[in-house]
Structure 1
Amino acid sequence: MYEHIAEALKEPDLVRIPPGAVCVRFETMKLYSALGAVRHLLETGQVAPGDTLVDSSSGIYAHALALACHRYGLHCHIVGSTTVDRTLRVQLEVLGATLEQVRPSKNLRLDQNLRVERIGELLKKNPDYHWMRQYHDDIHYLGYRDVAALIGDAVPEGPLTLVGGVGTGASTGAISTYLREAGRQVTLTGVQPFGSVTFGSEHVSDPDIIIAGIGSSIPFDNVRHHLYDRIHWVNFDYAMSGAVELLRASGIFAGLSAGAAYLATLWERARDDAPTYVFLAADTGHRYVDTAYAHHCKALGLGSMSPHEVTTHDDLRHPWSVMDWPPGESARARDESVLVPGAA
């Protein structure tokens, strides 16, 4: 029996997806990040019950942090994007978290900058608040050790390719790190939206981007670029099509990042079907019903979608591009012995 609903909600389902892939399907993946970070802060005395934790979020992390604070008797304040919908706002209110949303913006950079600026103002007025820094603090890697253990136990021995959104780096990067530390041979394939600075696509905009959680308009310090072997940039239309096809093929109702990861997984497996392919579905599709799933009649078939294989950032283009990482260098030539700061 679970002590708190957060512990139950964080547990993923591992589902076989033909042909030869495994989907790790979460209700909300960032609960691992939030719970692991909050536990560490409490255990090390950096925060105490009754303290206030504050951070910026486009939605998923807000819910995760609010639940973690509820679990451990802490206050939670979120500076949210306009993508935080009514369903989540009401849940945050009932959970006791406070939410303020920045002014609407079509520009991802402006939205994220406004949120970061507001965090700075809050900390000046309330120096006792603890900023969680989900985009920058290595502490958010810690909770994903359990996800790596689940995958390691469930997936047959041998090489595997992990595919998923890069986001803050404290998901795909963390899971691959812990799998590698356990002796597993892992190829890491990251998914990005166009317009993200994280892997250098800021010069290729996507006016329909609503998958900001897997990319960024500002540098994220906890992304370790050397962990990644391949990067796929997928635009909104293709991510939506992938999510619709995933639902049709498997019944899995997941977010747009899962749709993009599904496309990348199928493409990579067609090139090399030797390893086991594992892709992440970080959240459910509920918040994308109106913006994406309602347009399922416009979804493209899998056979009509393929990426542009590129070798330089200058060649990146819509709707889907893929590149070896680092550019022009064999991924296996890198040193993969990586330690997670703060995890000792």
Structure 2
Amino acid sequence: MFADAVDACRIPYVVRLADNVHAVVYRLMKLLPAHHILRNARDQGRLGDGVTVVETTSGTFGLALAMECAISGHRLVLVSDPVVDARLRRRLEHLGAEVVIVHERAPGGGYQATRLARVAEIQATLPATFCPEQYSNPDNPGSYALAAELLTEQLGQIDCLVGSVGSGGSMCGTTRYLRQANPELTAIGVDTHRSVLFGQRDGHRVLRGLGNSLLPPNLDHGQFDEVHWLGAADAFTATRRLYREHALFMGPTSGAAYQVGSWWGRRNPGARTVIILPDEGYRYQDTVYDDAWLAANGCDPGARPGSPREVAVPEDAEREWCRMAWARRSLDEVVPGALLKGARS
């Protein structure tokens, strides 16, 4: 049955990459929060028959919702922007989702702010809707208890967790549950340049799937011990290396996490490191896995820095791979007044 296939895609598996480094590998990570959010909404009476699901997405959370709604029979309207991958859009529409594209970037919030406004407009025109609100719904990080349980059962104590950050759900949720067994767990967040998540100014980002133009409420900065910023070339090169060395055919969000996690594991051979790999590589066959495309876009795989440059403040992390000791502080402790400067606008 279709539902059985979706269930199989939702559960990750664990792979050993080195003596002390493992990866938790998802076929489609966003199925975990999508399933959890929709199930809880049904149990609470907010997602009955005839209710339309409306959400903003430019990535795989939309695909996860489309798969879940195809099973349940709920109408699904997804609001995205021109950055959405054409192949992904076709997959969404083949599953029955209606995709609405916004074309204007809002000052201080980019496409994301425009998309959120459009979601509200659509909801106002429909008699009954439910918005999963992946960026603020606590069921998003709450869904990753399953992943934490799986890791603990298979590996025992985890000393370091490394993952890319977008909505904040996977890293904050998995970290929170793993720290119930090991409060000293080191959590390392991977962001990209010109993302507001960890105190930088919003701007154009080539690397997609991580970073954000708005601060999601599900992002708990106090969970993180370190933050790394990577550019597209580093992430793309690491993605190809992950495939060549471990036959894991993943996307660049996974490559970015692998770059940081494998580095940290080498520096800490006595610690057990787990890297979150959230996305498969099939959407990137014509880009990241195409040498001609990489060369044409100035991201030709080659020798890249073997270690990050240390920075003291987020604004100093420019272009190259950079690392900062975050020390489980709030954003305002690291960048005083950041919230007042429009990071949430």
Same fold by TM-score greater than 0.5 = yes
Residue in 2 that maps onto 1:332:
none
Q: Which residue in 2 is equivalent to 1:135?
A: 135
Q: What letter matches 1:193 in structure 2? A: T
107-116 vs 185-194, which deviates more?
A: 107-116
Shift of 1:327: 8.1
Decide which moves more: 79-88 or 165-174: 79-88
Name the SS for the 1:233 alignment partner.
strand
User: Does 2:225 correspond to 1:229?
Assistant: yes
Q: Does 1:270 align with 2:271?
A: no
1:28 Cα shift?
0.9
Residue 200 (str. 1) matches residue 196 (str. 2):
no
- Secondary structure, counterpart of 1:293 in structure 2: coil
Q: Residue deviations 1:134-176, cap 9 Å, x none?
A: 1111121232111111111111x33421111111111011011
Distance 1:163 1:247 in 2: 18
Aligned-partner Cα distance in 1 for 2:233–2:31 = 28
Partner of 1:299: 301
- Between stretches 266-275 and 50-59, larger displacement belongs to 266-275
Could you say what the CA RMSD is over the residues aligned between the two structures, in angstroms? 2.5
Summarize the Cα distance change of 1:144–1:2 in structure 2 as closer, same or farther, 3 Å threshold: farther
What's the counterpart of residue 167 of structure 1? 166
Higher mean C-alpha displacement, 263-272 vs 288-297: 288-297
Mind listing any 5+ residue stretches in structure 1 that lack a counterpart?
Answer: 330-344
Distance in 2 (alpha carbons) for counterparts of 1:292 and 1:89: 18
Greater CA drift, 134-143 or 186-195: 134-143
| TM-score, structure 1 normalization | 0.87
2:102 paired residue number: 102
Q: Which residue of 1 aligns with 2:317?
A: 316
How far is the alpha carbon of 1:255 from its aligned partner?
1.1
Question: In terms of mean alpha carbon deviation, does 43-52 or 248-257 score higher?
Answer: 43-52
Partner of 2:277: 281
What's 1:336 paired with?
none
1:57 paired residue number: 57
The CA deviation at 1:187 is 1.3
Are 1:254 and 2:250 matched, yes or no? yes
Q: Match for 2:255: what amino acid?
A: G
Paired residue type of 2:146: D
| CA shift for structure 1 position 69 | 1.7
Deviations 1:262-286 (A, max 9, x none): 1111221232222111111111112
Question: CA offset at residue 19 of structure 1?
Answer: 5.0
- Matched with 2:207 is 210
CA distance in 1, matches of 2:66, 2:95: 7
> Which residue of 1 is the match for residue 241 of structure 2?
245
* TM-score, normalisation: structure 2: 0.86
Structure 1 residue 184, shift from structure 2 partner: 6.2
Aligned partner of 1:291: which letter?
A: T
1:145 aligns with 2:145: yes
